[in-house]
Structure 1
Amino acid sequence: MGTMDMRGVMGPRSLQPGTVLSHYRIQAWVARGGMADVYRAVDLQLGRTVAIKVLSPSLVADPDARRRFFREARAASALQHPNICAVYEVGEVGDIVFIAMPYIVGKTLRELLEEGPLPIERALGYAIDIAEALEEAHRQGIVHRDIKPSNVIVDERDRAIVLDFGLAKRVRWEGQGADDALTLSQITTTSALIGTTPYMSPEQVRGEPLDARSDIFSFGTLLYELLTGRRPFVGATDIEILHAILHAEPEPMNALAPHVDFELARIVRKALRKDPADRYQTISEMKEELITFARERGYTVSGFRIVSIERTTQEERRRLWRMPAARAMGIVVIGLLAASVFWFFRRADEPSGAEWIATLRHTQLVSWKNEPGEGPPRPRFSPDGKLIVFASRKGGQPDLWVQQTLGGAAVPITRDEWSDRSPIWSPDGQRVAFLSDRGGDTGIWVIPALGGTPTPLHVIPQATGGRLNPVRLIAWSAKRNAIYYEAQRNLYALDLASRRAMALTSFDPQTSRVMDFSLSPDERRIAYVDVQGGQADIWILPIGGGEPERVTASPEEERFPIWHPDGRRLLYACKWGEVFQICLKALDERTPQRLTASEADLFIADISSDGRRLLYSLLKDESDIWGVDVQTGKEVQVTTEIGLELWPAVSPDGRALAFQAKPESSAGGDLFRARIVVRALGDEEAAVQFTTDGFDPAWSPDGRHLAFLRRGSDGQLDLWIVPASGGVERRVTRGVYHGGYGLLPFHRLQTRDFSWAPDGRRLAYASMRTGASNIWITKLDPTEDVRVTENADRTLVFSCPLWAPDGRRLAFVSEAREASEARWTVWVSEVERKVVLPILRSSDVVRLVGWIDSGAALLIAIGEGARLAPYMVREIRLFRVTVPEGKRQPLGVLVEASLVTVHLSPNGRTIAYISRADGQDNVWTLAIEGGRATKRTENRDARIYFSTLAWAPNGRILYYGRQAGWSVIKMIENLP
C-alpha cells in the first residue's frame, strides 16, 4: 500500500484507519491533547504497534507550537529509560508533523484517581517509578516542567511511565536565557504551550529560571494527590491556585487521609517547600527516602527494582557547585545531613552505594535480526581485548564471526552448512576453538582467528546439546595447554598434547542440574549454577577436591557466572523481577551490586583480561496473534500490544481466544513466566487477564474452564484450572512435564503437553514425580492422580498425551534419549484396562498429530534426521497408523515444512502447517486424503516467523503468532 496524499484533508480525527503516514499505517484514533491528536498505528517495517502524535492542523503554521512539538521530541529522544516514553522518530509528510512513540496500553494516574486515593503501597510503587524517570532526565540535564497525573500512564505491568516532554528544557546550569522564563502573563493566557497550573512550582509561577528542584515540587504535588485524593493547592480560579502555591501551606495529609504515616507525610512536605533550597536537592535523594520508608514499613513496591544509593554523577555535582556560593553552602549542609540520615536508617543487609556504577558506559557493538532457532549469542574477548568472536545465524547458517571492539563490520570466519558455536580464543589470540557438528558428531575444532581451514581436535561423546544437556567451551588454558569444556553436566579438560579428556567434576548427569561452569583465573576453582528445589544459585568448588561453597541464596534465578580477573569477585545474570540483569558480587560480601536496569533479559558473556570491560547480549522479541480465513485468505491481526502474544487456543464455541502474553520485549529465557489473557473475537471488547502467572492455556470441552501451567516456587510445573467466567484458580496436580519450545519462532514442541478428556472431568499429562517419566491422569471431582504407565527407565521420557474421541484411550509418545535405534515410540493405552501397547517405533523424530477416522487411527508425522531438534526438521512424512494393529499407510511428504507446526483440523480431515518453501514463513493446508497443498497467507518478509497454530472449531479460521526477533551484543566499559 502506498503513502496517501494527505494535503487538504486535515481536520479533527482526520487520519482514517488504513492511512499510511511514512511507514506507519494508522489503525485508530486514540486521544486528543491540547496541541495534538494521538493515533494507534503499526510500523510497517518492524511490525510493532506504535502511537503517532500528530500536531493539530491549527498549530502547524504556528512557529511556537512547532518549536514546542519538536522540543518534546528532542528531549524524549535523549532519554532511554523503562519509565520514560521513548521517541522512535520525528517526521513530516506534507503538512503533517508527527512523533512516533511506543503504544502503551494502560490508564493514566488521572484515571486511577477518579476512583479515589491510591493505597500507600501502590502509590509508593508509582512514585518510585516516576522518580526513576526524573532521575534519568535530570542526569541528562533535562527538566520536565509538567509533572501531573495525566502525564503518567500505568501500563499492563503496573509500571508508571512518564509522558509528554512538551515543556521540557535542557537546563543552563550557569544561567538560563530569557526564553526559558515563564511569566505570570503567559500563564494566564490560553496558550497551549504552558504547564498545568495546580502542579507548578513557586519559582515557575514567578517566572524564575528553573532547575530539577522544580520537578521535585511538582512531583511532591502529584504524590500528595495520589495519597489523599485531592491536590495540595486549590482555588476557584487559576489565579487563586497560583496564589496558594506561592503563599499557602497544604492541609496536613493525615487530616485528609489518617492512614498516611507521619514519616511519609514528612517526605512529601519536604518536597513541597516554597524555597527550592529547602527541598530535596536531587530527585535521587527523595527517591532513596521513599525506598527506605517502604522497606522499613515492609511494603513491596512494584517500581522498586534496584537499591541505588546515590547515582548523582560527577557532572551533576559540578553543576551544583556552580550555583551561587550561599546556595551551594546550603546544599552541602543539606547533603551531609541527608547522607547521615540515610546511613542511619539503611538496613545492614542493603548494598552500599557505588558511584562508579553511574560512570559505566554501554556501547552497542553489533546487532542483527534473528534466524529460526537462534538463542542469545555468547561473545568472547580476544586476549588483547581488541576483537570479539561470536556465533550467529546472521548469514543464514550458524557461523562464527569476528569484529573489532572499536567498530567496523563483523566478518565471518566460517561459512558453510555446518553448525558452529561456542567459540573461545587461544591464549595467543591467533586461533579460535569452537564446537561443530561437521563430520556428523559434535566435537571441538580449531580455525585461524581470521578464517581458514578448520581442523578437528576432539569428538565429545553423547554431546546431544540442548537445554537438557548443554555443551559449551569455557576456556583455553596456556598454563595447562588444555581446553576446558562443559558436557554431561560436568567440567572436562582436554589435554591438547595427548588429545585425551579428563572429567574434573563428578556430578550425576541423570539427577543433577548443574550448568554454566566458569574457571577461576588461577584455574583452582570453578563457579557454576546448581538448581536445587527449583532454586538456581551459584556455587564455588575447588577443582582438586573439597566441599562446595554457596555464593548466592536469592529466591530469584542466577545464571552465567563469570570470574573477575582479580579472582575475588563474580559477575553473573541475576533475575530481577521478570528480567535478567547483570550483578557483581565480591566473594567476601553478602550483598551483590546490580549494574544494569534493562527491560530485556541481559546475558552476560565475558570480561576482558584487564577487568575493565564486559560483554553481554540481549534478545528482543515481538509477537502478535493473527488469524486467516482459509476459504477467503483474508488475514486479520488479533492482538497489537507491545511484547509477546502467542500460543492461541480457541474456545469450543469459537467466540473467544485464550493466549499467553509477556509485555517484556525479551522472553527467550522463560516463556513459562507469562500471563493468560482471553479476548472476545469479532468485536472490540478489551482483553481479560485471567492470571498474571501462567502459560499454555487449554479450554475444557464445554468451554467452562481454562487449564494452564504455572511454575511453582520449587521450580516444578503445576497444573491449574480457572472458570472461564472468572473466579478462583485451583491447582489440580503438581510436577507436570513440559516438552519445551523453540526460541525463534516460539513453537511449542508438542501437539499438547496436557489434554482434557472428552468428558471434561479428567486431564492427562506426563510427569517425572517418581524419578522416572510416566503418563498420569488427574481426576477433578474429587481430585485424584492415577498413573497410566509403569516406567522405571530414567532415560525414557514420555510426552504429548492425546485422548481418543471415545475418552477410553490415550495416545502418547516416548523418547529413549540414549538409544541409537528406535529412539521414538508411539503408544496407546486403554485406560480402564491398564493396557499399554506400542503402535509405532522410529529412529527419526516423531510428532503425534492426533486421532483420525473417529478414533480408529492416528495421524503421525515423522521428520527426517534423528539427530535434529524437532523444530529444525524440514522434510516430513505423514502416516495413518491403525489402532491397535499399528499398520502404517503413507499419506504424503511435506517439504520445507516445520514438524512442530503440523496441526490437525477439528474434523480430522485437514492438516495445517508452516512452511518456508518460498523463503518466507506462511501457513499452508493439505487434505490428508490427498491433493495439493494450498498456501493460505501471503507473508513476504523473510524475517517474520510464524509460531504455534490453532484451528477454530468450525475449521475455517487458523490463528497463529507472527514473530520477529533481534540479537544485540553490547560492551560495558569503565568497570573498576
Structure 2
Amino acid sequence: MAMGSWRRGDVVLGLYEVLDVSDGGGMGLVYRVRHRDWNTDLAVKVPRPELVAGAAGRSGFETEAGTWVSLALHPHVVGCAYVRRIEDVPCVFAEWIEGGSLAELVRDGRLYADAGPDPTGALARVLDLAVQMAWGIDHAHRQGLIHQDVKPANVMVETGAAWTAKVTDFGLAGARAAAGERSAVPGESSLLASYGGMTPAYCSPEQADARAGARISLTRATDVWSWALSVLEMFVGSPPCRYGQSAPEVFAAYLESGRPGPPGVPALPPALVGLLGRCFVSDPARRPHRLDELAAAVIELYEEAIGVPYPRVPPQEAQLLAAGLSNQALSLLDLDRAEEAEELWRTAKDVDPHHLPTVYNWALHRWRQGSLSDEDIVSDLRTTRALYGEPAEVDRLLALVQVERGDAAAAEALLADAPDVPEVSAARAELARREPARPPELLEGHRGAVTCAALSADASVALTGGEDGRVRV
C-alpha cells in the first residue's frame, strides 16, 4: 500500500488503522491512526518526498526528528513516540491532540467565542495559553533543544474543560534544514508555512539573517521572539506580520493605532506591552532567554488583571522522569527493541516502584513473554491498587489484562463502571464478540492413557494418540 494512497479504514503494517488524513503544510501529510495494540490515536507525520530524497536525506531527517523522541514527557509538549521507516520513508509518530491548533482557534474565533460571559474570560484564556506555551518551550530548552519554528500552528490545544496547550513539532525545523531544503521565499499565501527550518511570518531577525547566508548559531532567544509573536497574534486575531523580523515596527504601529481588535478579542493589557517589547529587541543577546521567567511574569500579570490566583502550577521535572522512561520503553518495544525497553522499565521502577504505567506495561510485557504467570501479573496490579490511590484507574488496567487472559467474568465486573474511553470500548467489544464459555467435554475412545494431543487453530478439532496405538479425531 503506497504511503500517499492511505485512505480511511486502511490498516498499515497490520497495526495502524487510518482514521483521517490532512495536509500538514510545510511538513507533508498528517494521518490520524489508531494504534491497535495500544488502543490509542497517534498522529503520523509523513515528510514531503523532497525532504527525504536519497539515503543521506532520509538519515539526516531521521536523526533530527529523533530529537523530539528523546524529549522527556511534559504536559505542555506533544509526546513523540518514535520515528519509524515505512517503505524506507522516516515517519514521525506523535500523540494525537483533539481540538486543533492555536492557529485554527484564532482564525475561526473559537479561542474567544465560548470563554464565558465574564469580559475577562477571553483574556484569562489567552494569558493561560501564553503561560503553557512558555512552559512547554522552556522544557525543551532545559534539555538543550531549540525549537526554531514556534508559531500558533505548532501549538495544539485540548479544548475540553481545561484548555491545555501542547507545543509540537520539536526538531522538525532542524530536520527540514538537514534535508537541504533551500527553496526561494514562497508566495504570500505560503508565508505561514514552514520551509528551510523556519516560518517567514514568525522568524526572528537572526533566523532571517541565517537564511540569507550568515553563519549564526541560534539560541533560546530565537524561540522567545517567535513565542512573543504567537502571543501577540492572540490579541490581534490574525498573524501580526508577513515577515517575523518586522515585528518591532508592526508592534509599534499596532500600539499607535489604538484600534480595537475583532469582536470578542481581548485588549492587550498595558503590563504585557513592555514584556512583549523586550522580546522584540533585535539583538538576541539583549533579549530575554528564559521562558520560565517570562511565564512567571505572565502569571503575575494574570493574577493582577483577572483578580484570582493563576490555577496551574509548573510541572516538576522529577515527577515526569518515570513516566518518560516508561513511555520510551513502550515505544522501543513497538520497534522490536525489547532489550532496550526492558532496561528502561527497570530504571523507571527504580525511580518510582509504584508508578502505575510502568508497573502495568512492564508486567504485561513479561507476562506476554512467558516470564510472568497469570497470578503474578494480577498480584502486581492489585498491590499497586492498594498503594497507588487511584483504584478506578488500576481496575481499568486490570480489566484489560483479564480480557487478554480470557477471564470474561472478571473483566466484565471490572469494566462495569469504567469510563467509555477507547481502550475500554475496545475491551467491551472484544468481550461481546466472544462466544459464551462451554463446559469441558469428556472425550472417549482410547483404551489406556492418552500420550499426545493436538488442537486445530480454532480449537474445534482435537487429535489424540494413546498407549493403545490408536489415533482419534
The two structures share one fold, judged by TM-score above 0.5: yes
Structure 1 residue identity aligned to 2:399: P
CA contact (8 A) 1:36 1:53 kept: yes
Q: Does 1:83 align with 2:76?
A: yes
Listed as ranges, the matches of 1:876-891 within 5 Å are none
Listed as ranges, the matches of 1:494-513 within 5 Å are none
Q: Does 1:130 align with 2:133?
A: yes
Matched residues in 2 for 1:87 and 1:242: separation? 28
Q: Which residue of 2 aligns with 1:188?
A: 185
Structure 1 residue identity aligned to 2:142: R
Q: Which residue of 2 aligns with 1:163?
A: 168
Matched residues in 1 for 2:232 and 2:12: separation? 43
Listed as ranges, the matches of 1:576-725 within 5 Å are 603=388, 668=393
Q: Which residue of 2 aligns with 1:151?
A: 154
CA contact (8 A) 1:72 1:165 kept: no
- The Cα shift of 1:134 comes to 0.4
Q: Which residue of 1 aligns with 2:94?
A: 101
Q: Which residue of 2 aligns with 1:292?
A: 300
Structure 2 residue identity aligned to 1:101: A
Q: Which residue of 1 aligns with 2:460?
A: none
Q: Does 1:113 align with 2:113?
A: no
Matched residues in 2 for 1:231 and 1:390: separation? 42
CA contact (8 A) 2:126 2:234 kept: yes
Matched residues in 2 for 1:82 and 1:294: separation? 20
CA contact (8 A) 2:322 2:355 kept: no
Structure 1 residue identity aligned to 2:128: G
Pair 44,205 (structure 1): closer, same or farther in 2 beyond 3 Å: same
Matched residues in 2 for 1:147 and 1:295: separation? 26
CA contact (8 A) 1:121 1:300 kept: no
Pair 139,169 (structure 1): closer, same or farther in 2 beyond 3 Å: farther
- The Cα shift of 1:151 comes to 1.4
Picking from 227, 244, 253, the partner of 1:251 is 253
Pair 305,63 (structure 1): closer, same or farther in 2 beyond 3 Å: farther
Name the SS for the 1:99 alignment partner: strand
Name the SS for the 1:266 alignment partner: helix
- The Cα shift of 1:132 comes to 1.0
Matched residues in 2 for 1:128 and 1:260: separation? 15
Matched residues, number: 364
Structure 2 residue identity aligned to 1:38: V
Q: Which residue of 1 aligns with 2:271?
A: 263
Structure 1 residue identity aligned to 2:46: V
CA contact (8 A) 1:122 1:301 kept: no
Matched residues in 1 for 2:236 and 2:134: separation? 19
Matched residues in 2 for 1:268 and 1:386: separation? 40
Listed as ranges, the matches of 1:939-950 within 5 Å are none
Picking from 208, 233, 239, the partner of 1:225 is 233
Q: Which residue of 1 aligns with 2:200?
A: 197
Matched residues in 2 for 1:14 and 1:386: separation? 41
Pair 243,744 (structure 1): closer, same or farther in 2 beyond 3 Å: closer
Matched residues in 2 for 1:200 and 1:396: separation? 47
User: Which one has the bigger strand percentage?
Assistant: 1
What per-residue deviation string (whole Å, max 9, x for no partner) do you get for residues 388-438 of structure 1?
Answer: 7999899999xxxxxxxxxxxx999x9799999769xxxxxxxxxxxxxxx
Listed as ranges, the matches of 1:532-547 within 5 Å are none
Matched residues in 2 for 1:53 and 1:220: separation? 27
Matched residues in 1 for 2:132 and 2:351: separation? 38
CA contact (8 A) 1:36 1:56 kept: yes
- The Cα shift of 1:293 comes to 0.9
User: Which one has the bigger helix percentage?
Assistant: 2
What per-residue deviation string (whole Å, max 9, x for no partner) do you get for residues 675-719 of structure 1?
Answer: xxxxxxxxxxxxxxxxxxxxxxxxxxxxxxxxxxxxxxxxxxxxx
- Once structures 1 and 2 are overlaid, which stretch shifts more, 271-280 or 201-210? 271-280
Q: Which residue of 1 aligns with 2:291?
A: 283
Higher relative contact order (CA 8 A, sep 6+): 2
What per-residue deviation string (whole Å, max 9, x for no partner) do you get for residues 625-679 of structure 1?
Answer: xxxxxxxxxxxxxxxxxxxxxxxxxxxxxxxxxxxxxxxxxx628xxxxxxxxxx
User: Which structure 1 residue ranges, 5 or more long, are not aligned?
Assistant: 1-5, 171-178, 235-240, 309-356, 370-384, 398-409, 424-465, 467-471, 473-559, 561-602, 605-617, 620-666, 670-740, 747-870, 876-893, 903-913, 927-931, 934-939, 941-976
CA contact (8 A) 1:72 1:164 kept: no
Listed as ranges, the matches of 1:330-729 within 5 Å are 362-363=321-322, 603=388, 668=393
Matched residues in 1 for 2:75 and 2:355: separation? 28
Matched residues in 1 for 2:27 and 2:413: separation? 53
Matched residues in 2 for 1:395 and 1:115: separation? 44
- The Cα shift of 1:26 comes to 2.2
Pair 53,113 (structure 1): closer, same or farther in 2 beyond 3 Å: same
Matched residues in 1 for 2:354 and 2:124: separation? 47
CA contact (8 A) 2:29 2:48 kept: yes
- The Cα shift of 1:127 comes to 0.9
CA contact (8 A) 1:26 1:39 kept: yes
Q: Which residue of 1 aligns with 2:16?
A: 24
Matched residues in 2 for 1:224 and 1:420: separation? 48
- The Cα shift of 1:386 comes to 12
* Greater C-alpha radius of gyration: 1
Q: Which residue of 1 aligns with 2:41?
A: 49
Name the SS for the 1:42 alignment partner: strand
- The Cα shift of 1:256 comes to 3.7
Matched residues in 2 for 1:363 and 1:45: separation? 22
Name the SS for the 1:362 alignment partner: helix
Q: Which residue of 2 aligns with 1:630?
A: none
Pair 422,390 (structure 1): closer, same or farther in 2 beyond 3 Å: farther
Matched residues in 2 for 1:37 and 1:188: separation? 21
CA contact (8 A) 2:101 2:153 kept: yes
Picking from 190, 204, 209, the partner of 1:206 is 209
- The Cα shift of 1:247 comes to 6.3
Name the SS for the 1:137 alignment partner: helix
Q: Which residue of 1 aligns with 2:190?
A: none
Matched residues in 2 for 1:895 and 1:359: separation? 39
Pair 744,161 (structure 1): closer, same or farther in 2 beyond 3 Å: same
Pair 386,231 (structure 1): closer, same or farther in 2 beyond 3 Å: closer
Picking from 291, 305, 312, the partner of 1:305 is 312
Aligned identity (percent) is 24
- RMSD of aligned alpha carbons: 5.1
